[in-house]
Structure 1
């Protein structure tokens, strides 16, 4: 009996010890997860303005260095769809993209949230270019021609809108899904008839006399819609304070740009290796439109863009704006930024 009691007592004490050890390990694990090791922020290449400014002076890294959190900045060369796929799968935590890939991800029900605006510049800064000696004079002349553009991007949408003005669709051309690193040289060689790309990318070819613009979307401000800052849903739920702090940095970068227009243009030109003339054209009169507030006007523009994408068969599903847009992080960020001024 005594031996049995001793054995039971020993087993009980061992169980209690293991319970405390397990609780300690769980507590340690929970503590270890109070902050991530790294925050990965993406953008579509060559980079959205606030991303470029933040990369230039290390603003994001400085904000999180005090927590021992590393920041990695990633520029995706294959467009916003690549960036949003990385976001939805957890390969990155936050990204700056155009409206088309962000709307597409939301319509598909991906676990991503729109938490702010990257920009709302009132122009989409897309051009359609051809060779200088091309017989193509207008968008209507593109029927049956080889046209290079990245599928699923804002440029894709702008091209569809341009074609619609002359009674055509993308079914009336031969599309090639190429980024500008491939499409630019292809145009010069004569492998494609036209290229649809951002004016930041095409401007150097135009200025060197190697290409001619047949359409500049900046003349069609009604085609514009805001660019989006998106966050991985799981990350936002787990680390709401970090999302708020990241948006505080974004707000500060937007305000810095407005206060330092010439420095902003110089940094963007130097960092992205794009044409200064093109950058000044995009940000005319030193106005950058970088305020991240998601205004009713911005939501209406996004809804209009979604409707066009659905009509042009560029979208599957529909967007639940109440679920997709979450301004709570940005509201908290503005409150803290403004209270410190």
Structure 2
């Protein structure tokens, strides 16, 4: 894996052009490098399985990013060809007029509301008056605000604290917060260490378990459709393999994320790697965007006709 700093300083590799042919893919005339952005989370572990499914003539270079915004920005600036990040980052970018396009799924679930193991917090309603870590602008923020609304509450009923996902478990362990709305593997770490307990996996809203998506720059789809077909087919195979082989998923996550095996083993069942993005996901995404608008996270809804392009995964589904 290339160091991110070195990557950003390097000159982008020249790729071979190819005529767009029907799927599964055209054969590259010379080696073609596809730059894939991935977050340092178990949600984004699928790209680390890509190598074994990459056809001859192609190389996938996995570029790590710390945050969904960084990953999305890398796609927008064409620092990478494709990237995985939260639906929140994609919606924020599209609403601001950025040329970001959702072309597939990446990961569902992967969220958790966690409280101190010995606390009296047993439900979302019990968060009233408590200090709760929430990362502003995240997918998790939209989900917890909707869950609060469903319980007849609002953000005014809790004390929200801005803490990054990577610091949430430590903040809970120190007693700085009473609960957090986090991303795996933090909930798994809190469970494995005996620091926390699961209050809820917040998937009972109209948004389902929607979380991370597979994104591309609009120009890439128009100018290089052949590599879009190739990378999505690789992504499909890698995601299905990892889900069918949970022990290998855990092994890869332990190796790439540097987390304790016990924590990853508890996190893995709360992660659903995926590739398809159909009518259900489109409906959930539009509902999600509406919530973001109501929460004033965006000033206007994005143009859904340009934000979503599912033709590649639909073609892939037909022949998979």
**TM-score for the superposition, normalised by structure 2:** 0.76
Q: Which structure has the larger Rg over C-alpha atoms?
A: 1
How many Å apart are 1:188 and its aligned residue?
Answer: 1.4
Number of the residue aligned with 1:93: 81
- Per-residue deviation at 1:174? 3.3
d(CA) in 2 for partners of 1:265, 1:104: 31
Give the whole-Å Cα distance in 2 for the aligned partners of 1:145 and 1:261: 36
Q: Supply the distance in 2 between the matched residues of 1:333 and 1:166 (Cα, whole angstroms).
A: 40
- Check if 1:162 corresponds to 2:147: yes
Alpha-carbon distance in 1 for matches of 2:153, 2:62 = 39
Instruction: Show the 5 A alignment for 1:187-336.
Output: 187-218=172-203, 223-225=208-210, 227-257=212-242, 260=245, 262-264=247-249, 266-268=251-253, 271-272=256-257, 273=259, 274-280=263-269, 282=270, 288=272, 290=274, 292-331=275-314, 333=316
The superposition leaves residues 271-314 of structure 1 with CA deviations (integer Å, 9 ceiling, x where unpaired) of 4434313313x26xxxx562x33322221121222222222223
Structure 1 residue runs of 4+, over 6 Å off?
none
Q: Which residue of structure 2 aligns with residue 108 of structure 1?
A: 96
Q: Give deviations 1:105-134, integer Å, cap 9, x for gaps.
A: 222221011111224x4xx34222222333
Residue 125 to residue 111, structure 1, CA distance change in 2 (3 Å):
same
Q: Which runs of 5+ in 2 are unaligned?
A: 1-13, 18-30
Cα-to-partner distance string for 1:155-181 (whole Å, 9 max, x where unaligned): 111211222123322244333332232
8 Å Cα contact 1:84-1:102 kept in structure 2: yes
Q: Provide the rounded CA distance (Å) in 2 between the counterparts of 1:82 and 1:192.
A: 27
Partners of 1:259 and 1:198 in 2: how far apart? 22
What is the deviation of 1:204? 2.3
TM-score in terms of structure 1 length: 0.72
CA drift at 1:332: 5.0
Please give the residue correspondences for 1:117-156 in structure 2 after superposition, counting only pairs within 5 Å. Answer: 117-119=105-107, 121=108, 124-156=109-141
Contact kept in structure 1, 2:36 and 2:60, CA below 8 Å: yes
**Compared CA separation, residues 332 and 86, structure 1 to 2 (3 A):** same
The alignment covers a number of residue pairs equal to 290
> For residues 151 and 252 of structure 1, what CA distance do their matches in structure 2 show?
33
2:307 and 2:227 map into 1 onto residues whose CA distance is: 19
Distance 1:311 1:130, change over 3 A: same
Q: Distance in 1 between matches of 2:305 and 2:90?
A: 15
* Alpha-carbon RMSD: 3.1
The structure whose residues are more often helix, as a share, is: 1
* SS of residue paired to 1:113: strand
